[in-house]
Amino acid sequence: MGRLFWKLFLFIWLGQVLAVLGTGALFWAERRGFVGTAEQAMRPPPPPPPGTMRERGEGPPSRFAEGFAHDEPPPPPPPRRAPGHSGIHLPFWPLFAGFFASLLCAGGLAWYFAKPIRHLRRGFKAVSGGDLTTRVSPGMGRRRDELADLGQDFDRMAERMEGVLEGQRRLLHDVSHELRSPLARLQAAIGLARQQPERSGDSMSRIERESERMNRLIGELLTLSRLEAGCTLELGSVDMDELMAGVVEDARFEGMARALTIAYVPGEMACVRGNAEMLHRAIENVVRNALRFSPPGDVVRIEAGLVEAGRFMITVLDRGPGVDAEDMASIFTPFFRGKGEANGDGYGLGLAIARQVVLASGGEIEAANGKESGFRISISIPSSSD
């Protein structure tokens, strides 16, 4: 038993004992007062002092006095108490039963409150020791009180911490894997330049490309880490008509290499509150993802405009292979790559960055497979006039 148990036990038990004693003393005092009053009422009146009219024979005797003196016997004298007996009778067995019942009640209440707290303490100790799989709700039983709610909050905290640490481990593994390939190619290019000085130009070009690739990867990682850490973006009014025009123009230029057509369907345009540069990058990442997985010569459809409830909706639809149902929950996870021939072209960070940017703007982003084929990503952002 811990210290909290004994504190609760003593406070509850002492409170019950004082309540029992106070109640018993009150009843005892009332009973003693009633008995004294009754004894005083039953005592006979004191005899008349000598020299009264009756003893001197003066005046006629009263019929009431004669009847009281001759017809009714005098009341018996009060019983004499034994010497040394005060007359106080304490109810020993009722008091003992009350003390014993309060003892059991106090112990039960203290155990009821102290047990879940000890369980929570063991859970915190396990989590601090590195065991993030610890859960305390199953040990709470069928409790439906604040302590049970505290146990559920603890489980959610432990689950969140486990997910964050697992994500960090996975991110570290993926980053090291992504950096290993360009580093290996850099070392190969350097070795080739040393062995074949006449081909140093080609080696330097390879080194430059791999350096740019690593720099781009590190830049995206820094952007994602800042967004996930909750760094405040400079928000302002963003003209979506102008922003979408720039995104569509860049997409058409990139799609020319594979004969891809961009079908842009603009609706009613508006302004949203966000960071213009980051929103441009987020939508561009979504469009590039559609371009990368679309078959050559196909069409990528982009729709943008206001919808009901004052929200600006952007939808990007391609006719690529889509995403398996079991992978749909991981589509916005860093370094996730869907199926397709062009998987090696990116790092799997574009959609993760897009999600963080949209959330920072107070919007929502959803992904789903097309009705017949392809893949669709929808972005909803509140308009600044809302």
CATH entry 1.10.3720.10 includes domain 168-228? no
Q: In angstroms, what CA-CA distances link 370 with 43, 323, 325, 327, 343? A: 107, 10, 12, 15, 20
* Tokens 């330049």 -> residue: 193
**How confident is the model at residue 248, as a pLDDT?**
94
Q: Confirm whether 177 is a catalytic residue.
A: yes
% pLDDT > 70, the chain: 73
Instruction: State the Cα–Cα distance between residues 31 and 91, nearest whole angstrom.
Output: 13
**How confident is the model at residue 29, as a pLDDT?**
66
% pLDDT > 90, the chain: 17
Instruction: State the Cα–Cα distance between residues 353 and 374, nearest whole angstrom.
Output: 22
**How confident is the model at residue 342, as a pLDDT?**
45
Nearest to residue 189, comparing CAs of 175, 174, 173, 205?
205
**How confident is the model at residue 160, as a pLDDT?**
83
- Out of 56-65, 114-123, 191-200, least confident range: 56-65
Among 16-30, 150-164, 290-304, which range has the highest average pLDDT?
290-304
* Tokens 């969140």 -> residue: 160
The per-residue pLDDT for range 113-153, each reduced to its tens digit, is 777 888 888 888 888 888 888 888 887 777 777 777 888 88
Every domain of the chain and the residues it spans = 1-43+90-131, 168-228, 236-382
Cβ neighbours around 257 below 10 Å, total: 9
The residue-averaged pLDDT of 254-274 equals: 91
**How confident is the model at residue 263, as a pLDDT?**
95
The residue-averaged pLDDT of 70-96 equals: 56
Look at 340 and 99; give whichever has higher pLDDT. Answer: 99
Q: Is the pLDDT of residue 14 over 80?
A: no
Q: Say what the pTM is.
A: 0.57
Six-digit token string for 103: 């003892």
**How confident is the model at residue 117, as a pLDDT?**
81
Q: Is the pLDDT of residue 303 over 50?
A: yes
Instruction: State the Cα–Cα distance between residues 83 and 166, nearest whole angstrom.
Output: 86
Q: How confident is the model at residue 45 (pLDDT cuts 50, 70, 90)?
A: low
Q: Find the length of the chain.
A: 386
Helix or strand holding residue 181 (H, E): helix 146-195
**How confident is the model at residue 302, as a pLDDT?**
95
The residue-averaged pLDDT of 294-321 equals: 90
Q: How confident is the model at residue 68 (pLDDT cuts 50, 70, 90)?
A: very low
Catalytic residue among 70, 89, 119, 177: 177
**How confident is the model at residue 266, as a pLDDT?**
93
Q: How confident is the model at residue 343 (pLDDT cuts 50, 70, 90)?
A: very low
Q: Which is the CATH superfamily of the domain at 236-382?
A: Histidine kinase-like ATPase, C-terminal domain (3.30.565.10)
The residue-averaged pLDDT of 172-178 equals: 73
Among 88-92, 213-217, 226-230, which range has the highest average pLDDT?
213-217
The residue-averaged pLDDT of 328-336 equals: 81
